[in-house]
Amino acid sequence: MRIFEYIEYVSANAAIDSFTRWQLYRLLGEPVRLQLLALAATEELAIGELAELLGESQPNVSRHLKPLRSHGLIRVRKQGTRVLAHLSGDMRADPVIADAIQAGTALCAENGSLNRIADVVRARDAASREFFDRESVDSEQVGFPSESSAYLTALGLLLPRRELAIDAGTGDGRLLEVLSPMFAHVLAVDRARAQLARAASRIKRRAYQHVELVEGDIEDAHVRDRAQALGGASLVCASRVLHHAPRPVQVLRSLGELAAEDGFVMVIDYVSHDDERLRDQQTDTWLGFAPGELVELARGAGLEQAQQVTIPAARCGDGPDGHLDWQVLLARRPRDRQTKRISA
């Protein structure tokens, strides 16, 4: 590049401040800095990794990186106690910097540090592989992962409609652990204030700021009005609620009225059983529901496309009802007409 062309380039180039450009020649006259520049242009590397590649001490590498950083040639970012360095994004466009990188690359090729970058990067993975190859003390334990909320947040992005979910009869809020990460807004409804207090504690612990607690029965007008004000729910859930209901079909009808048109109603309850202890200990009105019974109840409540699936007891936890098979009913509120009202 001719000198007048270079002067024209310098005046137009905003990558490096014109006041400091003259310092570049002195800055880049140090071979270690040239090599650091070349290595950082090839891979983002920690200071310790740069020191290993160049056979220098970490303090010496840090000392040479400091002016490269202050002049904007190198950018760094922190990862815990590690500091990683990489070439600033537009530096290659500057002819002086490009020439310096080329010279540094030649030096690194000569001393072999350029070829060792791949080994340094593989070493990062080696520690990880060793860690995961160890047999964990918990490797034989099967349970719900403590990070499940994070996974559900990610999976929620796959739902076509996730504006509003309603947890009808939320109790202490266990189902909120599943619904809250997946939906933009959640109404948690329960008539027992003590249960809502437990749910509130769970919500606070998980930072679910988009969960709204509503005290009342699912049949109450203010519950229905709140759901309708939010456009109706994409999903209304009632987990282990129906077996307490004196008139299950009426509960299903009320659940349908909380849903948006084409919204889903999901009921989780027990398969028919003969464990009278649950009637005595948990005031169950019904000892589960027979195969096909929930589908018939849903049809009677004016819901459509009802389907019923059994959940084996092995998946149902270790609570007082964990020995029972559960079942899930999924049905849809009809489009363009009110949920049918028939006598139970």
**Contact of 164 with 188, CB cutoff 8 Å:** no
Rounded-to-integer distance, Cα 338 and Cα 344, Å? 17
Q: Are residues 170 and 309 in the same domain?
A: yes
Question: What confidence tens digit (pLDDT) does each residue in 130-185 have?
Answer: 766 665 545 455 566 778 888 888 988 888 889 999 999 999 999 999 999 999 99
Same domain, 202 and 294: yes
Average pLDDT over residues 273-298: 90
Based on the fold, state whether residues 193 and 123 are members of the same structural domain.
no
Q: Does residue 96 belong to any structural domain of this protein?
A: yes
Query: Each residue of 18-52: pLDDT tens digit?
Result: 446 677 788 888 999 999 999 999 999 999 999 99
CA distance 199 to 173: 4
Domain boundary among 80, 98, 133: 133
The pLDDT, as a whole number, for residue 340 is 46
In a domain, 139, yes or no: no
Q: What is the pLDDT of residue 135?
A: 57
Q: At what angle do helices 31-42 and 58-70 cross, to 10 degrees?
A: 80
Residue 188 lies in a domain: yes
Yes or no: say if 44 and 117 are a contact pair by the CB < 8 Å rule. no
What are the C-alpha distances in Å from 308 to residues 30, 224, 269, 290, 316?
75, 26, 11, 11, 16
The answer to the question of residue 340 being in a domain is: no
Neighbours of 316 (CB within 10 A): 16
Please tell me which residue, 9 or 301, carries the higher pLDDT value: 301
Domain harbouring 103, CATH code: 1.10.10.10
User: Are residues 87 and 48 both part of a single domain?
Assistant: yes
Number of domains composing the chain: 2
Find the mean pLDDT for residues 237-264: 94
Q: Are residues 129 and 162 in the same domain?
A: no
Domain match, 263 and 226 both: yes
- Within 13 Å, how many C-alpha atoms sit on residue 19's CB side? 0
**Amino acid 42: pLDDT:** 93
Q: Alpha-carbon distance 169 to 190, whole Å?
A: 5
**114 and 160: one domain?**
no
Last residue of a domain, one of 133, 167, 184: 133
Asked if residue 190 is part of any domain, the answer here is yes
Q: Are residues 309 and 161 in the same domain?
A: yes
The DSSP letter of residue 115 is T
- Asked if residue 180 and residue 95 are part of one domain, the reply reads no
CA–CA dist 93, 104 (Å, integer): 16
Residues 202 and 328 in one domain: yes
Whether residue 143 lies inside any domain: the answer is no
Which CATH number covers residue 176? 3.40.50.150
In the chain, the amino acid numbered 269 is D
Q: pTM for the whole thing?
A: 0.66
- Tell me what the pLDDT averaged over the chain comes to: 86
- Please tell me whether residues 107 and 59 are part of one structural domain: yes
Does 50 lie in the same domain as 163? no
Last residue of a domain, one of 94, 110, 133: 133
Domain carrying residue 276:
148-332
Question: Does residue 140 belong to any structural domain of this protein?
Answer: no
Confirm whether 337 is domain-assigned.
no
